[in-house]
């Protein structure tokens, strides 16, 4: 059929699935290897934002003004579980380095470059696969309940405008005109009309899974435990399974990618920022737009199955059980801005964002094995950047010049 390589992809989250569909469109035969159900990781329950209008990394000079207050509040927007503090220390030191002004500027440029491709790449993928029906172009409201926070948010809005993103600052009354279920505590904010979201991130995964299968792709159940690079490809060791030969291999295991990179001798400082949410079928409020409460570190996202309220960042690794008190805390904060909100019948969820200290993903050829490619670490932007990442992975595999300079996302940048 083609002289294109056959590509194995480990991990069938949104990044692996988008890469698979893009590679198929470019003539590759693809096989996804997934140890659970496709789309069952972080890609299942996220807030569904195509957040291409965000350009600021978490690692920013301003984070150090807010972080001490947050860290002192065990249910605040950003916490470190005490038992995980020693493990996360090296990551935090790199995070501090990435927050310095010059490094922050580099991260902003790299996020903006990738996010500029994010929605166009999704549009190309939706057009090719016929799966674009989930897009909602309603924009996003950034809202605050403290005048001081509105003033502080202006620097972030300026940064967005500097990147050509439209941001309209609004008073509390103007915000309530747009979303009458926001209460009188909202004192101001901004409308970002370009922001987009999907009606269901999990359903998006399942749509792509279906197309990949229909186009002859295989999805194998297996837990990959080791990788060895060879002259003509790579060998994958599966837990209680056979050794699989791949001509080209993509590692898209989200927050679990570190161990596989390490098996090739590449030490990537990947950790997880755990996030929490609750999805309420009948919330008693009706938002048309995505509502962000940046001051509290969470969002309210109107999706097909109701209102999804969540966010937060918790450093506690991949093994600790969820702390559901975090969901209760964010619900009580959400009720302050949306007094009629009810969370009866809500479904709680926790997910593992795959995060590097500089808030940039790894989209890179391995330095140890020429046929191995990395596509992980998208942190808060994995849904947003999945289609663009898929295109960049396909470019790397075929030796085509990528649309975005890949140097900032290199695996050996740390």
Per CB under 6 A, the list member of 8, 35, 202, 371 interacting with ligand FAD is 35
Judged by CB under 6 A, the stretch of 5-13, 70-78, 97-105, 336-344 that binds ligand FAD is 5-13
Asked if residue 306 binds ligand FAD (CB under 6 A), the reply is no
Half-sphere exposure of 3 (CA within 13 A, CB side): 1
Nearest one of 26, 269, 380, 117 to 7, comparing CA atoms: 26
Output b/e per residue, 304-343; b: 16+ Cβ within 10 A. Answer: eebbbbbbbbbbbbeeeeebeebbebbbebbbebbeebeb
Per CB under 6 A, the list member of 5, 7, 9, 13 interacting with ligand FAD is 13
Report how far residue 219's alpha carbon sits from residue 203's, in angstroms, rounded to the nearest whole number.
17
172 or 390, CB closer to ligand FAD?
390
Judged by CB under 6 A, the stretch of 142-150, 248-256, 362-370, 392-400 that binds ligand FAD is 248-256
Asked if residue 57 binds ligand FAD (CB under 6 A), the reply is no
Asked if residue 354 binds ligand FAD (CB under 6 A), the reply is yes
**Longest Cα separation, the chain:** 65
Return the bridge partners of 32, or none.
9, 219
Judged by CB under 6 A, the stretch of 19-27, 56-64, 322-330, 379-387 that binds ligand FAD is 379-387
20 or 63, CB closer to ligand FAD?
20
**CA angle 270-401-30, nearest 5°?**
65
Burial class (CB in 10 A: 0-12, 13-18, 19+), 183: middle
Per CB under 6 A, the list member of 8, 23, 41, 136 interacting with ligand FAD is 41
Asked if residue 51 binds ligand FAD (CB under 6 A), the reply is yes
Residue 346 CB, nearest distance to ligand FAD (Å)?
14
Site for ligand FAD in 381-410 (CB under 6 A): 381-384
Token output for 181: 């279920």
Asked if residue 53 binds ligand FAD (CB under 6 A), the reply is no
Kindly state the number of chain residues that form the binding site for ligand FAD, as judged by CB under 6 A. 42
Residue 330 CB, nearest distance to ligand FAD (Å)?
10
How many other CB atoms are found less than 10 A from the CB of residue 345? 12
Nearest one of 130, 121, 134 to 18, comparing CA atoms: 121
Sheet strands side by side (includes 372-376): 218-221, 29-34, 6-10, 248-251, 372-376, 362-365
Asked if residue 380 binds ligand FAD (CB under 6 A), the reply is yes
- Binding residues (CB under 6 A) for ligand FAD: these are 10-16, 33-36, 40-43, 46-49, 51, 223-224, 252-256, 275, 277, 310-311, 351, 353-354, 376, 378-384
């Amino acid at each position: 059929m083609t002289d294109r390589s056959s590509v194995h992809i480990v991990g069938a989250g949104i990044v692996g699935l988008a890469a698979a569909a893009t590679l198929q469109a470019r003539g590759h035969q693809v096989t996804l290897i997934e140890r659970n159900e496709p789309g069952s990781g972080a890609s299942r329950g996220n807030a569904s934002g195509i957040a291409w209008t965000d350009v600021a990394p978490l690692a920013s000079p301003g984070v150090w003004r807010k972080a001490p207050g947050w860290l002192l509040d065990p249910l605040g927007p950003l916490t470190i579980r005490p038992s995980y503090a020693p493990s996360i220390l090296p990551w935090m030191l790199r995070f501090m380095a990435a927050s310095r002004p010059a490094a922050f500027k580099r991260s902003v440029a790299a996020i903006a470059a990738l996010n500029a491709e994010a929605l166009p790449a999704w549009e190309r993928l939706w057009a090719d696969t016929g799966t674009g029906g989930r897009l909602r172009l309603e924009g996003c409201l950034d809202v605050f309940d403290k005048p001081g926070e509105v003033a502080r948010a202006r620097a972030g809005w300026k940064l967005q405008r500097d990147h050509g993103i439209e941001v309209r600052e609004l008073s509390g009354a103007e915000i309530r005109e747009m979303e009458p279920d926001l209460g009188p505590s909202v004192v101001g904010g901004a409308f970002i009309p370009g922001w987009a979201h999907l009606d269901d991130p999990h359903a998006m995964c399942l749509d792509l899974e279906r197309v990949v299968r229909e186009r002859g792709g295989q999805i194998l159940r297996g837990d990959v435990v080791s990788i060895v690079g060879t002259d003509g490809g790579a060998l994958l060791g599966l837990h209680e399974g056979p050794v699989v030969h791949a001509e080209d291999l993509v590692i898209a295991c989200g927050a679990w990618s570190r161990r596989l990179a390490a098996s090739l001798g590449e030490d990537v400082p990947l950790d997880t920022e755990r996030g929490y949410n609750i999805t309420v079928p009948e919330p008693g409020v009706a938002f048309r737009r995505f509502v962000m409460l940046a001051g509290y570190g969470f969002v309210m996202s109107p999706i097909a199955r109701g209102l999804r309220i969540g966010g937060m960042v918790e450093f506690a690794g991949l093994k600790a059980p969820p702390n559901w008190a975090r969901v209760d805390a964010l619900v009580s904060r959400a009720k302050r801005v949306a007094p009629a909100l009810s969370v009866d019948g809500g479904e709680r969820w926790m997910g593992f964002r795959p995060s590097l200290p500089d808030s940039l993903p790894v989209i890179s050829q391995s330095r140890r094995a020429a046929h191995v490619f990395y596509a992980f670490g998208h942190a808060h932007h994995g849904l947003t950047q999945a289609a663009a990442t898929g295109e960049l992975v396909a470019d790397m595999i075929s030796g085509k010049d990528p649309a975005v300079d890949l140097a900032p996302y290199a695996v050996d940048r740390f």
